[in-house]
């Protein structure tokens, strides 16, 4: 039996609001268009990413930098890799090491980190000298002895130790022990998880695990989670609420989490990805080889080997 690939939301800061400029593709080059499609910044970049906190990350001649809404270069493209701004800081990499910069381009943390995540709730996961920890906005590194730390959501961060998952608070104190086979970030007071092969939800208020009678449950968000039934629809996926009640009928081959009010679905193995709304109705036609979830009103889609952005109306930001 084919098991669904239940996509989780990207662990990235939320993309720009809908009124921001949108990355627009013209052949192999990228620029920016206004909502609705009018080009505002000509396609001259190797790659372009959504605006975050007033700046957009761009790839120019193999290096990363940042521009403003006028297309003016605010931070020169000199970095090997970089992430978007969140809480006023962006992780950037140079000479094989990571650090953080401010929006004026000044160095906030020296380039001494093995890895650097984005800030959420005033903290960012990072690795230094082989050890994992958390950075606060004063750039103080606090060791946190786990193999992996994800950004904070609803005051807790998912961590991994010994191949199992749990959650810690901002002081890196254990909130839920690392005993879960898998776990996703909290959303709306619940986190989908698997404990000793059983699927269910962790409750944020009590941090107790409630098993549900499904063979797979994906990340809970916006009041729903993708799932596969144990019954006759075991080869189909649909959506359940936190109580385990079926809310969208189990009729899809693959399902992904809701974000921005829409969820990616694949109706048949040989079909294309599209989007449904919370009532289970088709919102964007199935046209794509792959898609991400929506963040800030945008999703990334791939068709015929080309990636580009779409908005919630299904408008494609690519030159026809």
Torsion 119-123-125-131 (CA) sign: positive
Tally of domains in the chain = 1
Q: Is 10 among the domain residues?
A: no
* pLDDT less than 50: residues of the chain: 1-11, 15-18
d(CA 225, CA 239): 5
Strand ordering across the sheet containing 22-26: 22-26, 29-33, 39-45
Q: Tokens 């992904």 belong to which residue?
A: 256
In a domain, 11, yes or no: no
Q: Does residue 238 fall inside a structural domain? A: yes
- pTM comes to 0.91
Q: What is the pLDDT of residues 38-70, one digit of tens each?
A: 999 999 999 999 999 999 999 999 999 999 999
| C-alpha pair distances (Å), 5 with each of 26, 79, 210, 227, 279 | 31, 33, 22, 10, 21
Q: Residue 118: inside a domain, yes or no?
A: yes
CATH code of residue 288? 2.130.10
pLDDT (0 to 100) of residue 175:
97
pLDDT value of position 234: 59
Residue 14 lies in a domain: no
Cα–Cα distance list, 41 to 31, 47, 99, 226, 289 (Å): 5, 13, 29, 38, 27
C-alpha distances in Å from residue 12, one per residue of 43, 49, 151: 24, 12, 8
Q: Could you report the per-residue pLDDT of 73-105, keeping only the tens digit for each?
A: 999 999 999 999 999 999 999 999 999 999 999
6 belongs to a structural domain: no
Q: Is residue 284 domain-resident?
A: yes
41 within domain boundaries: yes
How many Å apart are CA 26 and CA 58, to the nearest integer?
15
The domain in which residue 289 lies consists of: 22-296+306-317
pLDDT at position 152 is: 95
What pLDDT shows up at residue 233?
Answer: 55
pLDDT at residue number 21:
97
């Amino acid at each position: 039996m084919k098991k669904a690939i239940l996509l989780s939301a990207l662990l990235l800061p939320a993309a720009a609001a809908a009124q921001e400029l949108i990355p627009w593709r013209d052949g192999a080059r990228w620029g920016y268009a206004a909502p609705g499609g009018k080009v505002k910044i000509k396609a001259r970049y190797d790659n372009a990413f959504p605006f975050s906190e007033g700046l957009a990350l761009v790839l120019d001649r193999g290096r990363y930098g940042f521009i403003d809404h006028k297309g003016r270069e605010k931070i020169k493209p000199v970095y090997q890799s970089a992430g978007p701004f969140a809480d006023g800081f962006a992780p950037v990499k140079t000479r094989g090491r990571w650090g953080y910069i401010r929006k004026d381009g000044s160095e906030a943390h020296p380039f001494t980190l093995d890895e650097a995540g984005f800030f959420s709730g005033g903290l960012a996961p990072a690795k230094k000298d082989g050890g994992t920890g958390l950075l606060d906005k004063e750039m103080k590194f606090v060791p946190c002895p786990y193999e992996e730390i994800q950004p904070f959501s609803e005051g807790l961060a998912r961590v991994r130790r010994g191949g199992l998952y749990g959650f810690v608070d901002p002081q890196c104190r254990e909130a839920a022990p690392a005993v879960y086979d898998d776990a996703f970030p909290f959303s709306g007071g619940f986190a989908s998880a698997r404990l000793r092969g059983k699927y269910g939800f962790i409750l944020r208020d009590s941090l107790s695990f409630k098993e549900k009678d499904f063979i797979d449950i994906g990340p809970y968000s916006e009041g729903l989670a993708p799932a596969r039934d144990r019954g006759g629809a075991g080869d189909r996926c649909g959506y359940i609420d936190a109580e385990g009640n079926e809310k969208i009928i189990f009729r899809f081959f693959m399902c992904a989490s809701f974000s921005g009010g829409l969820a990616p679905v694949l109706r048949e193995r040989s079909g294309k990805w599209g989007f449904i709304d919370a009532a289970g109705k088709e919102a964007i036609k199935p046209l794509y080889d792959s898609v991400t979830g929506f963040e800030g009103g945008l999703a990334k889609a791939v068709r015929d080997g080309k990636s580009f952005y779409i908005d919630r109306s299904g408008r494609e930001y690519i030159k026809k």
